[in-house]
């Protein structure tokens, strides 16, 4: 099971609705300036004031809950509201200067459509939930891997499910922590290890496991631009197989564990077995941001931090800050 925030909110909505609670779902539809939460973020709230998730730093949530308790929101069709339209309101609500949010609030009545969505996510499907703002009608559609959140005056479309894949080579101690963080960040995580002695020690049921050879696993499970391959075994026979295949594919991020000296030797080996210098430039090794990490949990944080920074295109700025102050 993926313990990402969206899925947690869907599960909680089903529980509250099944218990007879009055429940509304809030989606960040559009942002301007320095908004605390990106478009697509969710907040679930009950009429008694209990809520889960967030759309801001806290004050917007308080105002939303107050208005919902007094039947001022989502009484029929989805409600669209603005926050932070001027500096005074933005300051009062704890938004950054110039920050503004446009939110869509839906009244939820039946857990069945949410349960169907959860079942599709559980099967690894990418699903677009489309909300018609004029009628309140909700439909589910298959989503493309590159499909993103979208919103206009007529509809809101949010993609659910993991549209990024993370293939880990090696079922060692570090991989347990990398996998946990990857699942929390809504990656579809796959663990590859053909070594029988390691297969019996893997205990994370939220992660798919394959005993295929690493190069075969890359070919079958990580062949698209939203794939991440991490070689974490310290065994060149396994790591190099995966890296050789991954560096020649259209893969977003390829990383390898090891010291700088070990990675210099690894680069020389990869060049000798057919990886060209341009392809080798894609290799992040040693993998992870230089945050002084030593323990497996710390190293896992450094690895996921670098991947996150790369996804948000702030890696060079982050590295410069850490390396040069």
| 233 in the same domain as 202 | yes
Phi, psi (rounded to 5 degrees) for 71:
60, 35
**Average confidence (pLDDT) over 179-193:** 92
Does residue 119 share a domain with residue 66?
yes
Sheet (strand 23-32) strand order: 51-53, 42-46, 23-32, 100-108, 79-83
Question: Among 123, 143, 160, where does a domain finish?
Answer: 160
For residue 286, is the peptide bond before it cis, meaning its omega torsion is within 30 degrees of 0?
A: yes
Give the burial string for 280-304 (b: 16+ CB within 10 Å, else e). Answer: bebbbbbbbbeeebeeebebbbbbb
Tokens coding 281: 């430039």
Same domain assignment for residues 134 and 72: yes
**In whole angstroms, what is the distance from residue 192 CA to residue 161 CA?**
21
Contact 291, 272 (CB under 8 A): no
- Residue 86 and residue 114 in one domain: yes
Question: 102, 283, 307, 298: which is closest to 186 by C-alpha?
Answer: 307
CB neighbour class for 156 (10 Å; exposed up to 12, middle 13-18, buried from 19): buried
Confidence tier at 35 by pLDDT (50, 70, 90): low
φ, ψ dihedrals at 45, nearest 5°: -140, 145
What pLDDT score was predicted for residue 100?
80
Predicted local confidence at residue 94, as pLDDT: 55
Domain count within the chain: 2
Average confidence (pLDDT) over 246-259: 93
Separation of alpha carbons 5 and 224, rounded Å = 25
Q: Is the pLDDT of residue 324 over 60?
A: no
- State whether 216 and 232 are in the same domain: yes
Using DSSP's 3-state secondary structure scheme, residue 293 falls into: coil
**Residue ending a domain, choose from 160, 176, 206:** 160
78 pLDDT above the threshold of 70: yes
Domain range for residue 156? 5-160
Task: Answer yes or no: do 147 and 178 share one domain.
Answer: no
85 and 227 share a domain?
A: no
Higher pLDDT: 108 or 223? It is: 108
Q: Sorting pLDDT into bands at 50, 70 and 90, what band is 325?
A: very low
Q: Is 40 left (phi over 0), alpha (psi -120 to 50) or beta?
A: left
For residue 247, give the nearest of 265, 233, 266 by alpha carbon.
Answer: 266
Taking residues 94-117, report their average pLDDT.
85
Higher-pLDDT residue of 194 and 36 is 194
Q: Looking at residue 173, which CATH number applies to its domain?
A: 3.40.50.720
In tens, the pLDDT along 268-288 reads: 999 999 999 999 999 999 999
Same domain, 188 and 63: no
What band does 93 get if pLDDT is binned at 50, 70 and 90? low
CB distance 170 to 190 below 8 Å = no
Same domain? For 265 and 132 the reply is no
Contacts of 198 (CB under 8 A, 6+ apart): 170, 171, 172
pLDDT at 314: 79
Whether residues 306 and 208 share a domain: the answer is: yes
């Amino acid at each position: 099971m993926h313990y990402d925030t969206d899925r947690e909110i869907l599960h909680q909505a089903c529980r509250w609705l099944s218990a007879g609670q009055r429940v509304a779902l809030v989606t960040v539809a559009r942002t301007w300036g320095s908004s605390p939460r990106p478009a697509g973020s969710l907040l679930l709230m009950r009429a008694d004031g209990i809520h889960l998730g967030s759309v801001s730093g806290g004050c917007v949530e308080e105002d939303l809950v107050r208005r919902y308790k007094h039947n001022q929101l989502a009484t029929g069709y989805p409600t669209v509201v603005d926050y932070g339209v001027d500096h005074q309101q933005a300051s009062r609500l704890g938004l950054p200067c110039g920050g503004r949010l446009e939110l869509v609030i839906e009244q939820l009545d039946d857990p069945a459509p949410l349960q169907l969505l959860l079942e599709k996510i559980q099967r690894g499907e990418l699903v677009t939930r489309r909300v018609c703002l004029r009628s309140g009608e909700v439909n589910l559609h298959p989503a493309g891997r590159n499909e993103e959140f979208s919103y206009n005056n007529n509809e809101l479309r949010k993609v659910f499910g993991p549209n990024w894949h993370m293939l880990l080579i090696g079922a060692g101690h570090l991989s347990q922590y990398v996998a946990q963080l990857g699942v929390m960040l809504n990656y579809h995580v796959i663990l590859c290890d053909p070594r029988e002695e390691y297969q019996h020690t893997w205990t994370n049921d939220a992660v798919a496991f394959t005993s295929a050879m690493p190069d075969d696993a890359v070919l079958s499970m990580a062949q698209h631009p939203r794939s991440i391959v991490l070689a974490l075994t310290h065994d060149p026979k396994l790591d190099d197989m995966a890296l050789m295949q991954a560096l020649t594919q259209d893969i977003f991020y390829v990383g390898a564990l090891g010291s700088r000296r070990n990675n210099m030797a690894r680069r020389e080996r990869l060049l000798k077995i057919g990886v060209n210098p341009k392809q080798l430039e894609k290799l992040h090794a040693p993998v992870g941001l230089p945050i002084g990490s030593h323990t497996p949990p710390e190293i896992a944080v450094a690895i996921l931090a670098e991947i996150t920074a790369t996804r948000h295109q702030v890696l060079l700025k982050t590295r410069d800050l850490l390396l040069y102050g």
